[in-house]
Amino acid sequence: MPATKIPPSAKTSVHPGKTGVDLLHNPSLNKGTAFTNEERKKLGLLGLLPPRVSTMDQQVLRLINNIRRQTSDLQKYVEMIALLDRNETLFYRAVQDYIDELMPIIYTPTVGAACQMYAHIFRRSRGIFITKYEKGAVKQVLKNWPHQDVRVIVVTDGERILGLGDLGCNGMGIPVGKLSLYTACAGIHPEQTLPVMLDVGTNNEKFLNDPLYLGMPEKRIAGKEYDDLIHEFVQAVQEVFPKALIQFEDFANHNAFRLLEKYRDEICTFNDDIQGTASVTLAGLFSTTRLTGMALKDMKILFHGAGEAAIGIADLIVGAMVAEGLTKEEAKKRCWFVDSKALVESSRSDLQDHKKPYAHKHPPVGNLAAAVKVLKPTALIGVSGMAKQFTKEIVEEMSRINQRPVIFALSNPTSQAECSAEEAYVWSDGRALFASGSPFAPVEHQGRTYVSGQGNNAYIFPGVGLGVVACAAKRVTDEMFYEAAKTLARLVTQGDLDTGCLFPPLTKIREVSAHIAAAVMSVAYRRGLATEPKPRDMLAFAKSRQYEPVYKKYA
């Protein structure tokens, strides 16, 4: 057994230390109507609950029926968060049992709308909020958190929430949602997770003028003041939660890249928008090679968008192409970008630093449609956050160039997708190999049903986190994300591919996460980054560390 302790097994008989109403108001201890008659007598619960005892299965059924009666996805989200606030175990059991139905509610695409309305649907605070006014006292703020063995922190400053832009403090819905997936998809114990909002202000005038906005109604801080607060937070985590992984989430490009570069070799951290997105996209490309017969190193990839997600994907693809025999420069020349202005090429003088490594020598090209015609790419990847950019003309041109055009519309939420699954399949006459960031319903076209894959980071980051936590890794490396991508692609069956799906079904995501965790652990042990004793069977060990949402038995 590892030296590191984890919270008690859900099956262990324990006394909660609370009784009566206090017990019912503690979401990590509450069982609601599932408290047995014996427990009700011992814990001072007689008369505080309806008399009939429910099983967990009955509670889940009641919940899912209530969810399905709601008339909007936002109302369903509110119901689910309300459940998380009162009965954590039941929340995770329901999400596990109905992952296909509930993941789009508790995360993308619905979480985008929930963040936009955060101040108006607020019920109960979750996580830690840190502002510039806590400068010098961040460590004390973190010590207010009730759980000491925090292993995974998701932190945002709310500046680039999905494809929705600066949502300020409202962006707290993202760390809460991400961490719920760490638990539901990989089995990280909920008491080992901590969502953090670094509220450094907002430049969103709508929120600044909203009297119900809950964040600091001030313009964003920047420069040294911003960097000093970030640094104090990072250092405070090392002292208060020394074994915690810090996941940076939804930071704007100008901060995301430099913060990753600053801290990646100093602490246990990664940026999911850069590295997680890259890994799941690379896995999707690996899957396409089984259908096209074309090796990854022979692909030419055109990105629409040149922000943190796009560059992160390209960097990981370059590493994978090098592993297949190309030089780094040869691999870079197989990745092209169109940003909001034009083709990224060497004659442009307006390029940000992160784009310059991919600014190849080429005559100027003014837009995406023209770039597709000139470059003749194998794969088109949308990470622009701009809706409807893959037009009928573009998809038809991709289909003229390629027998099986690869079209990934990865921008979230669904409203920002570059095209829909139906558009990709119909415009390509069913030949497109399509994936999207948010889910689309199956598409019927000419007598065939296409089930598109969701290239969602949820396939990657929970498993990476589980692997890091299980072996107590000191760092998170790009090699871990490369191995995660290979592992995810390997778990796609021929049956999945036959339906058009480039990823395993979500119903298998806990199994997928365990395999990814084992792959991450293998890298950590191979590179001397793990600090726990090496287990004989890493997959079995990863599975043994997965939290199961089963009610405790109170003696």
**pLDDT tens string 281-309:** 999 999 999 999 999 999 999 999 999 89
CATH topology of domain 105-267: Rossmann fold (3.40.50)
Helix (H) or strand (E) holding 205: helix 205-208
Show the DSSP H helices in 408-460 as ranges: 421-427
Residue 313 DSSP SS3:
helix
**pLDDT tens string 392-438:** 999 999 999 999 999 999 998 888 999 999 999 999 999 999 999 98
**What span, in angstroms and rounded, lies between the C-alpha atoms of 194 and 155?**
9
How far from 175 is each of 2, 163, 193, 197, 533, CA to CA, in Å? 28, 16, 10, 8, 30
- pLDDT of 3 > 50? The answer is no
- pLDDT of 277 > 60? The answer is yes
**pLDDT tens string 347-377:** 999 999 999 999 999 999 999 999 999 999 9
Average pLDDT of the segment spanning 164-177: 97
What are the residue ranges spanned by the domains of the chain?
Answer: 13-102, 105-267, 275-458
Residue 436 DSSP SS3:
strand
**pLDDT tens string 256-272:** 999 999 999 999 999 99
The predicted structure's pLDDT at residue 15 = 61
Q: Cα 111 to the chain's mean position, in Å?
A: 12
Contact 371, 343 (CB under 8 A): yes
Point out the least confidently predicted range of 7-16, 107-116, 451-460, 510-519: 7-16
pTM confidence score = 0.94
The predicted structure's pLDDT at residue 14 = 54
The tokens of 149 are what?
């063995």
The predicted structure's pLDDT at residue 4 = 41
The predicted structure's pLDDT at residue 13 = 46
Average pLDDT of the segment spanning 493-512: 95
Q: Which CATH class is domain 13-102?
A: mainly alpha
Average pLDDT of the segment spanning 166-189: 97
- pLDDT of 555 > 70? The answer is no
Burial 434-460 (b: 16+ CB within 10 A, else e): bbbbbbbeebeeeeeebebbbbbbbbb
* 275-458 and 105-267 share a CATH fold: yes
Q: Which residues are catalytic?
A: 107, 178
Any residues with CB less than 8 A from the CB of 131 and at least 6 apart, and which?
Answer: 199, 200, 216
CATH number for the domain running over 275-458: 3.40.50.720
Least Cα distance to 78 among 51, 117, 45 occurs for 117
The predicted structure's pLDDT at residue 413 = 86
